[in-house]
C-alpha cells in the first residue's frame, strides 16, 4: 500500500477513511463525500467512487432497523375484543397478562397478549398458534387451566383463560426457600422438608401428572412445564397453565425473552432441547419441577455451583430421578405411571421405580466417558462392581473440571471433593484387597495351618510351586481378572493424573498390593510386572523429589520384588548388580526407620542369589543375618510394623533352604532356638505368638520331610493354638511387606 497513515497496520488508507466515514454517519453526523474529497485529495478518486456506496449501505441499514416487529400493548389498554381490561397482572418477556372481564358473560379471565404484532406474525405461525389454542381449549380437567378463547384485536393476538386465584409455584418456591415454611402450600402450618411437606409435594405431583396423562391421551403436549406454569389455588388445587401455548409467548425479536427461555431450558429434557418434544419430555419437565419443589433448590446449569440439596425421602428421590431421567427410555412411560408411583409413596407402599443399579450407573458412566471407557471399560466395570462407590463421582467431577473450567474457588472445592472421592475409592479398594488376601493367602499357604492332619505329598507334582491346585477353578480366575481390572484402573488413573504425587503414591501402593496377591495366586510373572509399575511410579516421583526418603524406601521395596528369578548366568550377574545398587541406595537412607526392614529384604534376596550361584555358605550367612535382624525388630517395643511378616518370610526362605540342603536336624535346632528366645521375652505379645506359630509351621514341614508324621501333626496343632491365642493377623499393608517369594509359594 502506498502512503500509509501512521499505525495503520498495513491497512488500505481509503479503507481507514471509509471506516471513519461510516462511523460518523452512524453517530448521526452528516459527513459528505465532498468533504472527504477535499480533505484527502490524494485519495479523491477512490473516495468519489466508493463513498456514495457507503452512504447507500448505511442508509439501507437504518431504514431496515426502523421496522420493529415486537410490540408492547399500550399501557392504557382498556378493551381487547369483548373483554374489558381490569388491570395488568404482569408484564415481561412473555408478553403481558391482564385481568379482564368478558362483557356479556361477566366472566373473569386472565388475558394473555402475545408480544408480537399481529401484522408481522407469519401465517404459518398464526395458524399454529390458533391450532394449539383450539387444542388447549378442548382440554377439560380439574387440574388444567381452561382456555376460553383465542382472538385478535388492535393488531394484538391474545388468548383468554380462566382466572385462577392463587399463587404461581415459582414464587412459592422462592418464598418457602426463604421462610422455611410451607403454610400456603400445605394449607396449614408446616415447615418445609418434613414428612407432611413431602407428602404434599407428592400430592401436587399426582394432580399434575394426572392432568398431563389426560392431555397426552387427548393428543396434546404441554411443552413447557415449569414452576412458573403451575398455579396453586386457595383450596390447594394445583393447576397446569399454558398447554401447548407457551412457545408463542416468545417474540422473535424480544430480547427480554431470553431470560425466560433460559428459565425454561432448565426444565427441558435433552431431546426437547434438540427440538423433539414428546410425552416423555413433558414427564421429564414435571419431574424436574417437582424435584425443585421438593428440594427448594433450583436446578442449576453448573452442578459445582449448586446449593447443597436436602436429602429427600429415598422413595421420593427415586421416583423423581426416574421421572427426570436423562435417558427417555428410563423414564416413566406414562404420566399416570408417575402418578401411581407417587401415590404409592404417599401411601407408604413399595414403589415401582428402582434406583439405578451399579451396573446401570456404570453403563451410563461408560457412555459419558467414551474415551476412558474405550481404554478400560471392562476393567473399570469390574472394579466398579467390586468397589461399589467412589469412582463415578471422582471421574465425573474430574471430567467436569476438565470440560468446564469453573471459577477458581469452585474448582478448588470440586477438586477437594474429587480427592475425597478418590480417597473413598482407595478405601473401597483396600476392602477388596482385604477381602482377597485371606483367600489368596489360603491359596499360597503351603500345608496351611488350617488343614489339620494334612497328608504328605500334597505339595503336588510340581514340588515347589503347587499353590493353585488346592483352590483351582473359577474363583482364582475371577480374582486374577479382578486384579487385572484394578491394574487397568490405576494405569488410567496415573496416566491422567501424572502430576499428582498423592495419586501416584496411592497407585504405586495398589500395584504393590496387587503384586502381593498375584504372588499368592502363583502368578509370579504378573506379580513382577505389577511391581515394575510401582517401581516406575516411584522412579518418576524420585526424579521430581530426590530428597524424599519415603519414596526411596518404597522404590527399593518395589524394586526388590522385580528382581528376576531366572538363574541364567547373565540374569544372575544382573541380579548381583541390582542388589549392589540397591545396597548403595539403602545407605543413602541413613537412619531411616524403614532402612532395617529393607536391609533384611536385601539380605534375603542376597541369600537367594548366593543359592543360585551355588555359594551355600554365603547364602546361609545372609539368611542367618536376616533372621537375627528380624528377631531384633520383633523385640522392639512396640515391635516394628511389618517385622512379623518379614520374620515369617525369612523363616520360610531359610527353612526351605535348609530342607533343600537336607539339613533337617540343624533346621529343627535353629527353629527351637528362635522359639525359645521369642517365648522367653514377650510371650503374650500377639506378634510373638504369631511368630512362634510360624516356627511350628516350618517345623511341621521338616518333620514331614523326614517322615515323622506324629511330630508334624503336633507341630501343626501347636501352631494353630498359638495363632488362635495371637488373634487375627492383620492384612498386610503394602509397606512392611516382605520381599518376593522367588522360590515359589510352595
Partner 1 sequence: MGKGNAGKGNAGNGNAGNGNAAHDKTLDPGQLDQLILRARGGDSDALGAVYGHYRPRLEHMVRLRMDRRLTGRFDASDVLQETFLEVTRRFPKYAKDPQMPLFLWLHYLTGQRLLQLHRQHLGAQMRDASLEISIDGGRAAMAASSLCLAEQLAGSFTSPSQVAIREETRNQIEESLNALAPIDREVIALRHLEQFSNDDVAALLGLSKAAASNRYIRALRRMKEQLGDLSSSTTF
For 564-591, b/e burial (b = at least 16 CB within 10 A) is ebeeeeeebeebeebbeebeebbeebee
| 351 Ramachandran zone, left/alpha/beta (phi>0; psi -120 to 50) | beta
Residue labelled with grid coordinates 387440574: 143
C-alpha cell recorded at residue 671: 527353629
**Whether 258 contacts 93, CB under 8 Å:** yes
Q: Which of 244, 224, 77, 231 is nearest to 142 (CA)?
A: 231
Q: Closest CB to partner 1 among 35 and 661?
A: 35
Q: Closest CB to partner 1 among 93 and 441?
A: 93
Among 5, 15, 105, 477, which residue sits at the site for partner 1 (rule: CB under 8 A)? Answer: 15
Q: Closest CB to partner 1 among 43 and 696?
A: 43
Is there binding between residue 126 and partner 1 (CB under 8 A)?
A: no
**What is the closest distance, in whole angstroms, from the C-beta atom of residue 415 to partner 1 in the complex?**
15
**Whether 289 contacts 170, CB under 8 Å:** no
Site for partner 1 in 224-253 (CB under 8 A): 228-229, 231, 241-242, 250-253
**What is the closest distance, in whole angstroms, from the C-beta atom of residue 589 to partner 1 in the complex?**
44
| 557 Ramachandran zone, left/alpha/beta (phi>0; psi -120 to 50) | alpha
Q: Which of 635, 632, 610, 636 is nearest to 621 (CA)?
A: 610
- Residue 40 CB-density burial (10 A; 0-12 exposed, 13-18 middle, 19+ buried): middle
Site for partner 1 in 686-725 (CB under 8 A): none
Longest dimension (CA), the chain: 125
Q: Which of 372, 337, 92, 315 is nearest to 212 (CA)?
A: 337
**What is the closest distance, in whole angstroms, from the C-beta atom of residue 544 to partner 1 in the complex?**
27
**What is the closest distance, in whole angstroms, from the C-beta atom of residue 403 to partner 1 in the complex?**
8
The count of residues interacting with partner 1 (CB under 8 A) is 87
HEC sequence for 63-86: HHHCCCCECCCCCCCCEECCEEEE
Question: Kind and range of the H or E element at 494?
Answer: helix 473-496
**What is the closest distance, in whole angstroms, from the C-beta atom of residue 50 to partner 1 in the complex?**
5
Q: Closest CB to partner 1 among 91 and 664?
A: 91
Distances (CA, A) of 533 to 349, 487, 501, 544, 562: 52, 9, 15, 17, 10
Q: Closest CB to partner 1 among 166 and 746?
A: 166
Q: Which of 226, 240, 264, 222 is nearest to 93 (CA)?
A: 264
Among 154, 179, 258, 566, which residue sits at the site for partner 1 (rule: CB under 8 A)? Answer: 258
Sheet with 230-233, edge to edge strand ranges: 166-168, 230-233, 238-240
Q: What letter would DSSP give residue 181?
A: B
**What is the closest distance, in whole angstroms, from the C-beta atom of residue 77 to partner 1 in the complex?**
14
Site for partner 1 in 275-314 (CB under 8 A): 275, 300-302, 305
Distance, CA of 528 to CA of 569 (rounded, Å)? 20
Site for partner 1 in 37-76 (CB under 8 A): 46, 49-50, 52-61, 63-64, 68, 70-72
Q: What is the DSSP string of 127-178?
A: HHHHHHHHHHHT---TTBPPEEEEEEETTEEEEEEEPP-EEEHHHHHHHHHH
Site string for partner 1, 362-401 (x = CB under 8 A): ----------------------------------------
Q: Closest CB to partner 1 among 109 and 381?
A: 109
Q: Which of 342, 339, 334, 321 is nearest to 278 (CA)?
A: 334
Is there binding between residue 262 and partner 1 (CB under 8 A)?
A: yes
Using DSSP, state whether 238 is helix, strand or coil.
strand
Is there binding between residue 26 and partner 1 (CB under 8 A)?
A: yes
Number of helices (H) and strands (E) in the chain: give both, helices first.
Answer: 28, 9
**What is the closest distance, in whole angstroms, from the C-beta atom of residue 164 to partner 1 in the complex?**
6
C-alpha cell recorded at residue 386: 467390586
**What is the closest distance, in whole angstroms, from the C-beta atom of residue 253 to partner 1 in the complex?**
6
Q: Closest CB to partner 1 among 22 and 529?
A: 22
Distance, CA of 236 to CA of 123 (rounded, Å)? 40
Site string for partner 1, 185-204 (x = CB under 8 A): --------------------
Site for partner 1 in 305-364 (CB under 8 A): 305
For 642-667, b/e burial (b = at least 16 CB within 10 A) is bbbbbbbbbbbbbbbbbbeeebbeeb
Q: Closest CB to partner 1 among 10 and 189?
A: 10
Q: Closest CB to partner 1 among 90 and 450?
A: 90
Residue 72, φ and ψ in degrees, nearest 5: -115, 125
Q: Closest CB to partner 1 among 208 and 670?
A: 208
Q: What is the DSSP string of 211-234?
A: HHHHHHHTT------SGGGEEEET
Site for partner 1 in 156-185 (CB under 8 A): 161, 163-168, 170-171
Site for partner 1 in 577-616 (CB under 8 A): none
How many residues comprise the chain?
746
**What is the closest distance, in whole angstroms, from the C-beta atom of residue 225 to partner 1 in the complex?**
11
Distances (CA, A) of 15 to 20, 462, 534: 9, 91, 65
Is there binding between residue 271 and partner 1 (CB under 8 A)?
A: no
Q: Closest CB to partner 1 among 410 and 550?
A: 410
Among 10, 178, 348, 617, which residue sits at the site for partner 1 (rule: CB under 8 A)? Answer: 10
Distance, CA of 547 to CA of 551 (rounded, Å)? 9
Q: Which one of the spans 34-42, 94-102, 595-603, 738-746 is the region binding partner 1 (CB under 8 A)? A: 94-102
Q: Which one of the spans 86-94, 208-216, 475-483, 514-522 is the region binding partner 1 (CB under 8 A)? A: 86-94
Q: What letter would DSSP give residue 249?
A: G
Site for partner 1 in 531-560 (CB under 8 A): none
Q: Closest CB to partner 1 among 75 and 543?
A: 75
Distance, CA of 639 to CA of 643 (rounded, Å)? 7
Count CB-CB contacts under 10 A for residue 337.
18
**What is the closest distance, in whole angstroms, from the C-beta atom of residue 256 to partner 1 in the complex?**
5
**What is the closest distance, in whole angstroms, from the C-beta atom of residue 106 to partner 1 in the complex?**
19
Q: Closest CB to partner 1 among 91 and 107?
A: 91
Residue labelled with grid coordinates 386472565: 110
Is there binding between residue 254 and partner 1 (CB under 8 A)?
A: yes
**What is the closest distance, in whole angstroms, from the C-beta atom of residue 266 to partner 1 in the complex?**
8
Q: What letter would DSSP give residue 188?
A: S
Is there binding between residue 80 and partner 1 (CB under 8 A)?
A: no
Q: Closest CB to partner 1 among 228 and 726?
A: 228
Is there binding between residue 263 and partner 1 (CB under 8 A)?
A: yes
**Whether 675 contacts 692, CB under 8 Å:** yes
Q: Closest CB to partner 1 among 11 and 577?
A: 11
Q: Which one of the spans 262-270, 383-391, 589-597, 608-616 is the region binding partner 1 (CB under 8 A)? A: 262-270
Using DSSP, state whether 231 is helix, strand or coil.
strand
Among 106, 403, 455, 591, which residue sits at the site for partner 1 (rule: CB under 8 A)? Answer: 403
Q: Which one of the spans 11-19, 374-382, 703-711, 726-734 is the region binding partner 1 (CB under 8 A)? A: 11-19
Site string for partner 1, 405-434 (x = CB under 8 A): xxx--x------------------------
Using DSSP, state whether 91 is helix, strand or coil.
strand
Among 124, 140, 311, 637, which residue sits at the site for partner 1 (rule: CB under 8 A)? Answer: 124
Is there binding between residue 22 and partner 1 (CB under 8 A)?
A: yes
Site for partner 1 in 97-116 (CB under 8 A): 97-98, 110, 112, 115
**What is the closest distance, in whole angstroms, from the C-beta atom of residue 330 to partner 1 in the complex?**
22
Is there binding between residue 672 and partner 1 (CB under 8 A)?
A: no
**What is the closest distance, in whole angstroms, from the C-beta atom of residue 175 to partner 1 in the complex?**
11
Q: Closest CB to partner 1 among 261 and 574?
A: 261
Amino acid at each position: 500500500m502506498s502512503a500509509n497513515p501512521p499505525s495503520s497496520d498495513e491497512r488500505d488508507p481509503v479503507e481507514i477513511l471509509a471506516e471513519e466515514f461510516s462511523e460518523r454517519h452512524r453517530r448521526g453526523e452528516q459527513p459528505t463525500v465532498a468533504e472527504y474529497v477535499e480533505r484527502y485529495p490524494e485519495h479523491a478518486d477512490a473516495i468519489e467512487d466508493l463513498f456514495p456506496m457507503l452512504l447507500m449501505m448505511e442508509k439501507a441499514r437504518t431504514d431496515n432497523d426502523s421496522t420493529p416487529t415486537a410490540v408492547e400493548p399500550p399501557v392504557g389498554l382498556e378493551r381487547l375484543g369483548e373483554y374489558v381490561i381490569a388491570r395488568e397482572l404482569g408484564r415481561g418477556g412473555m408478553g403481558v397478562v391482564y385481568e379482564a372481564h368478558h362483557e356479556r358473560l361477566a366472566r373473569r379471565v386472565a388475558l394473555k397478549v402475545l408480544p408480537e404484532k399481529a401484522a408481522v406474525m407469519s401465517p404459518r405461525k398464526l395458524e399454529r398458534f390458533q391450532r394449539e389454542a383450539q387444542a388447549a381449549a378442548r382440554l377439560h380437567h380439574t387440574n388444567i387451566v381452561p382456555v376460553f378463547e383465542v382472538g385478535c384485536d388492535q393488531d394484538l393476538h391474545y388468548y383468554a383463560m380462566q382466572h385462577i386465584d392463587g399463587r404461581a409455584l415459582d414464587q412459592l418456591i422462592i418464598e418457602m426457600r426463604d421462610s422455611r415454611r410451607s403454610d400456603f402450600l400445605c394449607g396449614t402450618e408446616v415447615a418445609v422438608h418434613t414428612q407432611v411437606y413431602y407428602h404434599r409435594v407428592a400430592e401436587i405431583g399426582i394432580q399434575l401428572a394426572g392432568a398431563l396423562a389426560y392431555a397426552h391421551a387427548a393428543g396434546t403436549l404441554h411443552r413447557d412445564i415449569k414452576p412458573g406454569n403451575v398455579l396453586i389455588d386457595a383450596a390447594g388445587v394445583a393447576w397446569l397453565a399454558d398447554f401447548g401455548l407457551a412457545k408463542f409467548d416468545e417474540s422473535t425479536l424480544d430480547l427480554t425473552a431470553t431470560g425466560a427461555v433460559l428459565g425454561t431450558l432448565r426444565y427441558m429434557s435433552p431431546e426437547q432441547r434438540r427440538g423433539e418434544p414428546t410425552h416423555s419430555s413433558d414427564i421429564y419437565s414435571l419431574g424436574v419441577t417437582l424435584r425443585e419443589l421438593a428440594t427448594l433448590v433450583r436446578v442449576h446449569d453448573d452442578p459445582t455451583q449448586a446449593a447443597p440439596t436436602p436429602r429427600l425421602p429415598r422413595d421420593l428421590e427415586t421416583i423423581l430421578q426416574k421421572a427426570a431421567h436423562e435417558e427417555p427410555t428410563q423414564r416413566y412411560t406414562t404420566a399416570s405411571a408417575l402418578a401411581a408411583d407417587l401415590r404409592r409413596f404417599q401411601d407408604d407402599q413399595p414403589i415401582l421405580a428402582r434406583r439405578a443399579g451399579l451396573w446401570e450407573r456404570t453403563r451410563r458412566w461408560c457412555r459419558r466417558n467414551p474415551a476412558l471407557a474405550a481404554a478400560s471399560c471392562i476393567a473399570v466395570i469390574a472394579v466398579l462392581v467390586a468397589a461399589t462407590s467412589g469412582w463415578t463421582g471422582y471421574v465425573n467431577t474430574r471430567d467436569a473440571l476438565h470440560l468446564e473450567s469453573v471459577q477458581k474457588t469452585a474448582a478448588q472445592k470440586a477438586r477437594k471433593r474429587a480427592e475425597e472421592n478418590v480417597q473413598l475409592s482407595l478405601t473401597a479398594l483396600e476392602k477388596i484387597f482385604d477381602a482377597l488376601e485371606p483367600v489368596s493367602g489360603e491359596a499360597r499357604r503351603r500345608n496351611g495351618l488350617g488343614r489339620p492332619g494334612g497328608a504328605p505329598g500334597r505339595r503336588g507334582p510340581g514340588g515347589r510351586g503347587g499353590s493353585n491346585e488346592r483352590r483351582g477353578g473359577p474363583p482364582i480366575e475371577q480374582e486374577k481378572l479382578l486384579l487385572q481390572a484394578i491394574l487397568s484402573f490405576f494405569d488410567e488413573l496415573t496416566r491422567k493424573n501424572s502430576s499428582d504425587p498423592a495419586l501416584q503414591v496411592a497407585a504405586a501402593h495398589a500395584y504393590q498390593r496387587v503384586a502381593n496377591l498375584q504372588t499368592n495366586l502363583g502368578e509370579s510373572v504378573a506379580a513382577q510386572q505389577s511391581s515394575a509399575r510401582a517401581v516406575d511410579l516411584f522412579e518418576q516421583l524420585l526424579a521430581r523429589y530426590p530428597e524424599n526418603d519415603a519414596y526411596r524406601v518404597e522404590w527399593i521395596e518395589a524394586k526388590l520384588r522385580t528382581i528376576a528369578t531366572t538363574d541364567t548366568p547373565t540374569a544372575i550377574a544382573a541380579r548381583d548388580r541390582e542388589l549392589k545398587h540397591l545396597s548403595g541406595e539403602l545407605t543413602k537412607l541413613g537412619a531411616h526407620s524403614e532402612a532395617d526392614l529393607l536391609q533384611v529384604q536385601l539380605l534375603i534376596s542376597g541369600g537367594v542369589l548366593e543359592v543360585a550361584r551355588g555359594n551355600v555358605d554365603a547364602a546361609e550367612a545372609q539368611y542367618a543375618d536376616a533372621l537375627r535382624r528380624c528377631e531384633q525388630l520383633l523385640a522392639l517395643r512396640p515391635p516394628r510394623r511389618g517385622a512379623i511378616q518379614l520374620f515369617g518370610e525369612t523363616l520360610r526362605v531359610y527353612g526351605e533352604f535348609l530342607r533343600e540342603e537336607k539339613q533337617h536336624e540343624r533346621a529343627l535346632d535353629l527353629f527351637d532356638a528362635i522359639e525359645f528366645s521369642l517365648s522367653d521375652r514377650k510371650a503374650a505379645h500377639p506378634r510373638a505368638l504369631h511368630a512362634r506359630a510360624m516356627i511350628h509351621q516350618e517345623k511341621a514341614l521338616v518333620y514331614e520331610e523326614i517322615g515323622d508324621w506324629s511330630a508334624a501333626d503336633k507341630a501343626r496343632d501347636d501352631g494353630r493354638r498359638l495363632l488362635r491365642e495371637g488373634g487375627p493377623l492383620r492384612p498386610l499393608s503394602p509397606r512392611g511387606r516382605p520381599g518376593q517369594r522367588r522360590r515359589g509359594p510352595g
